[in-house]
Structure formats: structure tokens, C-alpha cells
Amino acid sequence: MNTALIPEEVVQTGESLIRFVEQEVVPIEAANKALLSSDRTIFDERGRFTPEVEALKLQVRTKSAEAGFYTMFGPEELGGSGLGPLASVYLNWLLSMHCGPGRTLIHPVVIPSPFTNGLSPVLTFLDPSLRDTYLPQLGSGEKTLCFGLSEPDAGSDVFNMKTRAVRDGNDWVITGSKQWITNGPYADYAMIFAITDPDLVMQRKGGITGFFVDTSWKGFEVVSTIPIMGQLGAEIGILSFDGLRVPDSHRLGEVNQGLKVAMRGVNTGRLGLSATCIGMARWALNQAVEYAKVRRTFGKPIADHQAVQILIADSAAEIYAAETMLVDCAMKLERGEKALAETSMVKLHCTDAANRVFDRCIQVHGGMGLTNELRLEAGYRFTRSMRIPDGTSEIQRRTIARDLLANGVNF
């Protein structure tokens, strides 16, 4: 990534971030290598992180919060540092490039998702009278959060949501379920979105409201985790609500305006996710280049074979294009420009490209690329999965086309 376009203070923050990882996180990983080296010890029989792993994650979160990294993307009004899209792109890219995939205590423990955990910008809609109760716990890393929008039949089409919230005096009673919820099985608090006006939902004009929920309240249940892509457990899960009573004071924003609340910070979140993928892709390319120099076949390094050179060159071209797109889009958002099509193009290209890069780098490594030891297969699984959340590649294409057809080719 061209650091000449990144503000000097952000570059310095990045240097401090990497020092923090090396000095604080790596020793914890090394001391617990046996625990963290296998899914069989990371997850329990239910597919949830074991208490020992959860304790290590809490330790890293609190250390990151003390160092100022855990809350650096949180809005200043909530107690965060208020770093913007360009910083999010650079720092997520840098962390991923330096650390690579398959690090249980790195992603997203040191830096939480920009809008679904920690000091999420969605919490700017929380009643100010409640902020002193909840924000210090979330900002310190002591407690965690999840973002409950998706459902079994309502992923890309949010208006197909089934979860309902009905007013009952000073409370709302929520009934329904959520699925694919990151950190759902572990969160202390949840931002839950439910239908409050079915007629508006049918017209696709609103009718959904957000609520801030304590997951220990009666009626809130974690049904299960959802193991994915070769893992024995997961961070994501299924949540169920059966008569969950939520005080109206815990409503997020105006009634029936929940989608506006939910989308607060989504662009920065998509860019952060994209930057994470491309940072990992650059890490993978570095591994492939070094391996190609030392691995020999037919009496010479495989780097001398044109087939291997093509794999490396194609990967480099895609990474360069992706990094350029990331910085350009982030700068537009930093200036306050809309950049709807550009954000979707970045999410589409970066996640697809990273998946292709890992595929090629595994090919360069041959059989070694399939082993868990090199972590390439972990990166392949991660980048493949990132083509779905925060809007699938197909939804991003739809968004791009609709924006261009409505507003012209202005990127």
C-alpha cells in the first residue's frame, strides 16, 4: 500500500500497533501454543470457544483497550479516538499483512469490527442516560457486543425479517430469531432489530426498530454456534427471543427508523473487512515468493518456472489494484463523499481477489500449501467466507449497477 497517501500520524499508529502485537500478544500466544494450535482445544463440544480461550481473548482485549487500539475507530462522542475510513483501511491492512491468518487472539480481538462490536457508531443512538452504564464496559473490552440484523430468511433482503417487537406499556416485547450473528454466542449485549410496523415493512419504507439488549435478560437465548468451512466451532451463532422484554429507554433511535440506525458505519465496516482480506493476501504472496526461491524441482528453483511466475504475477496485480481502490475509496469517504458504488466495488473486488490470491499461493506451495502448519489454508477459508457477509458479491454487483444506472458513471 502506498503509505505516502496515509497521514503520518496514522502510519505512526500502525507502527505502535505492530509493536503492541509483538510485545503483548505474541508472548501470550507463545505461552499458550498447545491450547491455540488446534480446533480440538480452541472449541468445546458445542462448537464454542473454551473458557480458557475466552479468558485469553479478554486479556488481549483489555490490553488493547488500555493501549488505545481497541477503541480507536469508535466515535469521539462515545469515548473513542474517532479515526476515520482511511485509518481503518490502513491499520486493518497492516495488522493482517503482518500477522497473517489463523491467529485466534488477533482478529478481531485487538481491533474489533468497526460497527458491530466495541464502541460501535450504532451506539450513538443509545439514550444518553444509559451511556455511563454501558459504554465504559464496552470500551474497556470487559464486555462485548453483537449486531443482530440477519435472520434465516432475511440476509440480503432485510425486509423479509420475521422478528417482531410489540409495544407493551413502557416496554417492547420481542419474539423471533437471528442467524449468522458474529460474536452472538459470547456477547454480553446485543443490538437487535425487529419489525415494529408490518405495513411499512411490506411497503419497504421502514417499519424496523433497533433495541439495545442485555443478553442475560429473560427471553434471550443462544441456540447454537454455526461451525463453518472446516472449523469445529465458530464466532457466529443463532439467537432466539421468546417474550424478551426491553425497556423503551433501550430503543436505538426513532421507532420504525432502525435501518438508518443499522447502516451507521457500514461503509467503514466494509472497507475494514476488505482491507483485512487484502492485507492477508499480501502476506500470502510474500510466503509464496519466498517459497518459490528455495523450493527446487527439475534441478532449479520453482521461481524459474513460467507457470509459477504467472501465479505470482497475477496475484501481485490483483493486490496492487485492490490496495489502490481501497485508498481511493477511503479518501472519498474521508472527504464526506457518498461513494456508494465505489464502496461496493471495493468489497466485491477485494474479497474475490484475496480468495484467488490464496488459491494461487497454495498452488505455488504444492502439497505444503494444504497443511495447517503454513496457515495458507486458514487464509483461504477466511477469504472465501468474506465474500458473503456485509453483502454478498452478487448484492455488491447489484448495488454498483443500480447506482451507475441512476446517477451515471461518476467514480
Over range 390-404, report the average pLDDT: 95
Provide the grid cell at 377: 489454508
The answer to whether the CB of 185 falls within 8 A of the CB of 7 is no
> What are the contacts of 168-173 at 24+ separation with CB within 8 A?
168/245, 170/247, 170/248, 170/249, 171/245, 171/246, 171/247, 171/248, 172/196, 172/209, 172/211, 172/245, 172/246, 172/247, 172/248, 172/251, 173/243, 173/244, 173/245, 173/246
Average pLDDT, integer, range 389-411 = 94
The residue-averaged pLDDT of 82-110 equals 94
Q: What pTM does this model have?
A: 0.94
| Residue (of 47, 14, 408) closest to 226 by Cα position | 47
Model pLDDT, residue 154: 86
**Whole-angstrom distance, CA of residue 284 vs CA of residue 254:** 45
Closest among 310, 322, 231, 329 to 281, alpha carbons compared: 322
Please give the domain boundaries of the chain with CATH numbers for all domains: 3-139 (1.10.540.10), 145-256 (2.40.110.10), 266-407 (1.20.140.10)
* Mean pLDDT for the stretch of residues 127-144: 97
SS3 label, residue 73: coil
| Torsion-angle region of 92 (φ positive above 0: left; ψ -120 to 50: alpha; else: beta) | alpha
Q: What percent of the chain is predicted at pLDDT more than 90?
A: 91
Q: Which helix (H) or strand (E) holds 387?
A: none
The per-residue pLDDT for 310 is 98
286-332 pLDDT, tens digit per residue, is 999 999 999 999 999 999 999 999 999 999 999 999 999 999 999 99
Say if CB 206 and CB 257 are below 8 A apart.
yes
Q: Report the distance separating Cα 173 and Cα 178, nearest Å.
A: 15
Residue 264, pLDDT score: 84
Confidence at residue 53, expressed as pLDDT on a 0 to 100 scale: 97
Predicted confidence (pLDDT) per residue in 239-255, tens digit: 999 999 999 999 999 99
pLDDT at 288: 98
What H or E segment, with its residue span, contains residue 181? strand 171-182
Percent of the chain with pLDDT over 70: 100
Q: What does the pLDDT read at residue 211?
A: 98
Bridging pattern class, strands 171-182 and 236-247: antiparallel
State residue 116's pLDDT score: 83
Which pLDDT belongs to residue 265?
75
Cell numbers of 19, please?
509493536
Is 74 in a helix, a strand, or coil? coil
pLDDT at site 317: 98
- State the pLDDT at residue 193: 97
Secondary structure (DSSP) of 34-72: HHHS-HHHHB-TTSSBPHHHHHHHHHHHHHHHHHT-TTT
Residue 108: predicted pLDDT? 87
Q: What is the predicted pLDDT for the residue at 301?
A: 97
Q: What are residue 300's DSSP bridge partners? A: 297
Q: What is the pLDDT of residue 210?
A: 97
**Residue 153 CB neighbour total at 10 angstroms:** 10
Give the residue among 183, 177, 187 at the shortest CA–CA distance from 234.
183
Question: Helix 85-99 and helix 266-294: axis angle, to 10°?
Answer: 30
Tell me the average pLDDT of the chain: 95
Alpha helices in 165-305 (DSSP H): 198-202, 258-262, 266-294
Measure the CA–CA gap between 101 and 103, rounded to whole angstroms. Answer: 6
- Label residue 400 by pLDDT band (50, 70, 90): very high
pLDDT for res 384: 96
pLDDT at 107 over 90: no
330 backbone dihedrals φ, ψ, rounded to 5°: -60, -40
Say whether pLDDT at 150 is over 80. Answer: yes
Q: Each residue of 341-383: pLDDT tens digit?
A: 999 999 999 999 999 999 999 999 999 999 988 999 999 999 9
**pLDDT score of 2:** 86
How high is the pLDDT of residue 286?
98
- Distance between alpha carbon 180 and the CA centroid of its chain, in Å? 12
CA end-to-end distance (rounded Å), the chain: 20
Alpha carbon 129 to its chain centroid, in Å, reads 29
DSSP state of 304: G
Q: Quick one: angle between helices 306-334 and 85-99, nearest 10?
A: 150
> Angle 359-396-113 (CA atoms, 0-180°, nearest 5)?
75
